[in-house]
Chains A and B, each alone.
Chain A
Amino acid sequence: MDSDMERRYIHCDADKCTGCRICELVCSASKEGRFHQELSRIRVAQPTPTIVTSIACRFCENAPCIAGCPKDALSMSGETNTLKLDKARCTGCGWCIEACDFGAIMLDRSTKSVVMCDLCLSLPEPRCVEICPKKALSLSTSEAVAQKARDRVATTSKKCIV
């Protein structure tokens, strides 16, 4: 897909993330007008006490959720490179939820349709990025994340020391 803007998503640095879930609280406050973590567009996973990270939609290049939707309700906006939902088409069946490997789609039982991260494009900065107390979140491109990894391996790898 051609796009005007490079694909960006909310990246979490798992070393910094503490599992406080403040990102969930502020996301739901901003999107739902109340504290409702079940409908936060960013969600924290902590399968063991020491493994923790938060996850939001990655706006996959070849998005399985779009392919999985039987009602063609989902699409990727070329302009912003974010996922768009056609509410009128969505039946809340949850196929997209099953198709997503990241658990990035939530079912809103009150509206019987789904919700996902929209990068808070109407705000100067995504709300979760702004508020994360540990600065674990950033609005990143794949390239920026990859560059961080390269820098990290370069600083730690002995091969680089001549």
Chain B
Amino acid sequence: MYSYSGKCLVVDLTTQSTRLEELPESLLSSYVGGVGLGTRLLLEKSTPGAEPLSPDNPVVFVSSGLAGTMVPTASKHAVVTKSPLTGLVGDSLSSSHWSLALKRAGYDALIITGMASSWVSLFIDDDIVHFRKADHLLGKGSSQTEEAIRRETGDNRVRVASIGPGGERLVRYACISNDSNRQAGRTGTGAVMGSKRLKAIAIRGTKPISVWDLDGLQKVCADLYAKAQTSATEKYRMLGTPANVLVLNRLSALPTRNFQQASFEGAEGISGEHLAECYLAKVTACASCPIACEHLYRVQDGPYAGLEMMLDYETLFALGPLCGISSVPAILKAAELCDFYGIDTISTGGCIAWAMECFEKGLLTTNDTRGLRLSFGNHDALVEMVERIGKRDGVGDLLAEGTRRASAQLKGGSEHWAIHSKGLELPGYDPRSMKTQALGFAVGLRGGCHNRSPSYEVDMSPGVDRLKAEPGRGLLNKEKEDFAAVLDSLILCKFIRRCFEDFFLEASRLYTLATGINMSPADLRQVGERVNNLKKAFNIREGWTHADDWLPPRMFKDPIPSGEAKGAVLSEAELRMMIDDYYKARGWTAEGLIPPGKLKELKMDDVIELLNG
């Protein structure tokens, strides 16, 4: 076997012991890596019904057969655990040098189980694992933690994945950060790490990675590098994802003031175009990425002068229009604080926007906020609220629970504008003016997510009426989800997808060139369907029901008030129709359950065995 080590490192924090387990080739080729292999290992290692923040919930880190090679954008890892936000599968991706370090230390996967009796960090020095006291690291953000660990180990090759003060305090959407500005952002993986009293995982990986056909791989990769400089990636290279702001604003799909509007009067001033002109400091790339989409911005003057931050569209939308904020320096500052506390920017923005609406409707008062005027557009309040969430201070403690729990606690009708699916706050696409994406958000296996169910692409493609729900969208959503699952398991970045002419042909070839494992285009295509059925099987085991596939009341009751899609709203009947259509396309029952034959058809006998045993 090439590229893969076939090794999984299992670390038990309760007993402070480690062991190595073999990952057989059949398992690797079925689930490939990343989200697929991660969910498979989670299913095997977790107790059914385990509390997400208990020692019984393992957290799995997985690399892939392509990571660490020169395959463009493949230097990524997945973090998979049961989400404290949704109670279902929580899978999140991050990238760059920590991912490489894990692979070069000789592991395809790392599983953390149990719970330490006092705060620890791990130092994985190739084959040797050290458990270290971590009390002195508490309260530090990811960059500071990284710096401190590098100083202590005396080696700046050491790469660190860590949680911030938000993860220590179990903010339900805390993330795990690495390489100072990369995050496994969504679904609260950082809270799970925090519940285990594990502050950081430092790795020094120094081993080489051999591939099956080095010359063949180099040729294919060189072609992809060249394609990555063409129009296939132009958006990401030129403006980065902030290019979405003006596009979505024009389509009435830019969620504004907690989805009360779908276009923002301040859009120009926070657009990718404006950021590039007035704030851009540098464009950088993740490890092994020829595209380079990371746009780093610098604040020149004012109270945040000197601040340097990376921004992508999702962070920009969530801390900007969603909260009615048009001040770029304040958005950058709030993003910096999210990174410091180690909390997901989308959920943070979603929670603050929910609270702002509660404040404006009188459900939260200055008594609850210690005098803070928590209204839309108040950028000082935005910055202050990020701090309070990170510290679980005052009303921040309520918001740290996520909008689903916070609204259930506050009541007063606030569930109406708690904008989540299955507890995961929605990203920056308005489902009322993008109806295939509405379906994607409703049925999303990790909750409302444009990455796992990227059907906004369907809505934005020529010939599709995005304001209309029609039969056939179920199949289109399924196809988008399966394709995303293949990318998330290989692991490749979504931004490289257009550089392939025939994705399954070329990607299966890359996989074989790297690993020496035979993989046909049809095999690879099936991986996507397999992985989504696996995630669904996990969710069903953890108590998912039909009623969980739905959207918040606002989407059905409050039409979009202005802009190109003025009046657009979702009807319960049309969402129901698309969901039925989707279950059918998946070959699931009318209740959305997996019929017995489906797992067999997908050659998932190992999973059938796990579910029965």
Contacts and interface: CB of A to CB of B under 8 A. Distances in A.
Contacts of A28: 208
Interface of B: 68-70, 100, 157, 180-181, 206, 208-211, 214, 218, 222, 225-226, 228-229, 281-290, 292, 294, 296, 298, 308, 310
15 contacts: A18-B283, A18-B284, A18-B294, A19-B285, A20-B289, A20-B290, A22-B290, A25-B288, A36-B208, A49-B180, A49-B296, A50-B282, A50-B296, A133-B290, A134-B292
B292 A29 contact: no
Contact of B70 (A35, A39, A49, A134): A35
Contact of A20 (B180, B209, B286, B310): B286
B290 A50 contact: no
A20 B70 contact: no
B287 A18 contact: no
Interface string A37-52: 1110000001011101
Contacts of B283: 18
B311 to A, nearest CB: 12
A112 interface: no
Interface in A4-41: 18-22, 25-26, 28-29, 32-39
A18 B222 CA distance: 17
Contacts of B210: 33-35
Contacts of A36: 208-209
A139 interface: no
B70 A26 contact: yes
A131 interface: yes
Contacts of A35: 68-70, 208-211
B209 A22 contact: no
Given A20-B286, A48-B308, 7 more contacts: A34-B208, A34-B214, A36-B209, A38-B157, A49-B180, A49-B282, A133-B292
The 7 closest A-B pairs by CB, nearest first: A133-B290, A36-B208, A18-B285, A18-B292, A20-B285, A50-B282, A25-B70
Interface string A115-143: 00000000000000001011000000000
Nearest to B157: A38
Given A20-B286, A32-B208, A36-B209, A49 B214 contact: no
Interface of A: 18-22, 25-26, 28-29, 32-39, 46, 48-50, 52, 131, 133-134
Given A34-B208, A38-B206, A49-B296, A29 B287 contact: no
A32 B210 CA distance: 10
A120 to B, nearest CB: 14
A33 B211 CA distance: 9
Contacts of B281: 50
Contacts of B209: 34-36
Decide if the interface of chain A is mainly helix, strand, loop or mixed.
mixed
Nearest to A135: B229
A29 B288 contact: no
Contacts of B70: 22, 25-26, 29, 35
A48 B306 CA distance: 13
B208 A20 contact: no
A22 B217 CA distance: 14
Nearest to A47: B156
Given A22-B225, A34-B214, A131-B225, A49 B288 contact: no
Contacts of A49: 180-181, 282, 284, 296, 308, 310
Contacts of A52: 282, 284
Nearest to A36: B208
B228 A133 contact: yes
A32 B310 CA distance: 35
A32 B157 CA distance: 20
Contacts of B286: 20
B284 A34 contact: no
B214 A21 contact: no
Contacts of B157: 38
A144 to B, nearest CB: 23
Given A26-B70, A49-B296, A133-B290, A33 B225 contact: no
Nearest to A130: B222
Contact of B288 (A20, A32, A39, A46): A20
Given A29-B70, A34-B214, A38-B206, A19 B284 contact: yes
Given A29-B218, A49-B296, A22 B288 contact: yes
A37 B289 CA distance: 15
A29 B514 CA distance: 13
Best-buried of B100, B208, B211, B214 by chain A (most CB within 10 Å): B208
A73 to B, nearest CB: 24
Contacts of B180: 49
Given A19-B285, A49-B284, A34 B211 contact: yes
Contacts of A22: 70, 225, 288, 290
B287 A20 contact: yes
Nearest to A26: B70
Best-buried of A37, A39, A46 by chain B (most CB within 10 Å): A37
Contacts of A39: 208
Nearest to A127: B218
Contacts of B206: 38
A25 B66 CA distance: 13
Best-buried of B69, B181, B211, B285 by chain A (most CB within 10 Å): B285
Contacts of A26: 70, 218
Nearest to B229: A133
Nearest to A46: B284
A87 to B, nearest CB: 20
B225 A50 contact: no
A34 B69 CA distance: 9
